[in-house]
Amino acid sequence: MLRCTSCGNTYPEKFMLRCKCGAPLNLIRHYSGKFKDFLRTQFLDIRRYLPLLGGDLQFYPQIVPPLTPVVEKKIHNIITLFKLEYLMPSGSFKDRGTYITIAKLKEDKIKEVVLDSSGNAAISLALYGLSEGMKVHIFIPKHTSKGKKRILKILKAIVHEVDGDRMETHIKAEEFKGGVYVSHWYNPYFLEGIKSFAYEFFEEAGEIDYAIIPTGSGTMLLGAYKGFEELYKFGEIKTTPRLIAVQAEGYESLLPMGKRKNRLAEGIAIPYPPRKEEIIEAIEKSGGMAISVSEEETMNAWKKLISMGFLVESTSATVFAAFEKLISKDYFEKGSRILIPLTGSGLKNLGEMMEIIMGGKTI
């Protein structure tokens, strides 16, 4: 069932974004038994976890998100575990949420959808939607990178450019009447798909002390937290990892808003996320914290990640910038094990990357 995060009203599992009171909804499911008993071990992709993600097998999309690798590196006596989410079919972790969302939309016979996005969620929905014969309307801010816009056109999405920021784009998309609005900021099925990130990481790398998560709308943080909480309830982990939410300077929702804008973090430039209260609760319950990173810190971290062989987009570098900032403050205990997800591919906006890195251009 779906339950309202504010008033507690419940609804049957149909595709819907908000409660009548306007607040976001969450899927509530209870599992008993052992985690391993739920796994479909014949699969080495997201289908491994489907009994925990819900839905009807016949509706799952043809494109299947794979298991993404984990790369371990020892940095200043800390064990860092980079999870390469940018190797997903559409180049970002959003494919996990899209996969479950599309299955639900198909089950409910919805064929025309509307989404607003800074790029990655849009590309993911357009890719999966195209292969399933859906009509996909995408609202993006005009300043979205050219590379991402080109991919959306290749994927036959109907692109609506909004001359405004990320929040204005969200309002325009919600007002549009040409299809069912599927905002991943609200969509409870999207979060349910992201849960698989935590299951998968646990199977690959075991327990960790911290997870450093890029946090704009909070989909990755909330989805991962839900997955880790379930692993805790199954008795698989002793405690949920402490969540460190990374925000972009000038767009903070969890910290006082910085005066300068971090323009290298378009993916998390979301100052008013609808699930803010849930994000705060997850961070507090896990014993974590929020941290903001500047454009300069993001740029330096991005260059380092590329030199380490991780061809990610600049938003993804915010987590490594936060890691370095916290290392310099001796925040982590020696020997800590830290999950650092690398969420989006750098190949989508290679042109902009070249201009910034090779040409010395500042955006």
Contact residues for Zn ion (CB under 5 A)? 4, 6-7, 9, 19, 21, 23
Structure tokens at 74: 């020892």
Q: Taking phi first (over 0 means left), then psi (-120 to 50 degrees means alpha), and beta for anything else, what does residue 203 get?
A: alpha
- Displacement of CA 257 from its chain's centroid (Å): 22
- Residue 357 contacts by C-beta under 8 Å, 6 or more apart in sequence? 303, 306
The DSSP line for 226-262 is: HHHHHHHHTTSSSSPPEEEEEEETT--SSSPPPSS--
Instruction: Indicate the residue among 7 and 255 with the shorter CB distance to Zn ion.
Output: 7
Determine phi and psi for 138, rounding to 5 degrees: -120, 125
Residue 7 or 171 having the CB closest to Zn ion: 7
Q: How many CA atoms lie within 13 A of 103 on its CB side?
A: 26
The residue (of 6 and 131) whose beta carbon lies closer to Zn ion is 6
Min separation Cβ 234 and Zn ion, Å: 29
Amino acid at 95: D
Residue 20 vs 150, nearer CB to Zn ion: 20
Shortest spacing between CB 14 and Zn ion, in angstroms? 15
- Site of tokens 């993006």: 140
Minimum CB separation from Zn ion for residue 273, in Å?
17
What's the closest the beta carbon of residue 276 comes to Zn ion, in angstroms? 16
For residue 167, report the phi and psi dihedrals to the nearest 5 degrees: -70, -40
State in angstroms the smallest separation of the CB of 22 from Zn ion.
7
CB of 13 to Zn ion, least distance (A): 16
- Closer to Zn ion by CB, 23 or 319: give it: 23
CB 86 within 8 A of CB 156: no
> Which C-beta is closer to Zn ion: that of 17 or that of 246?
17
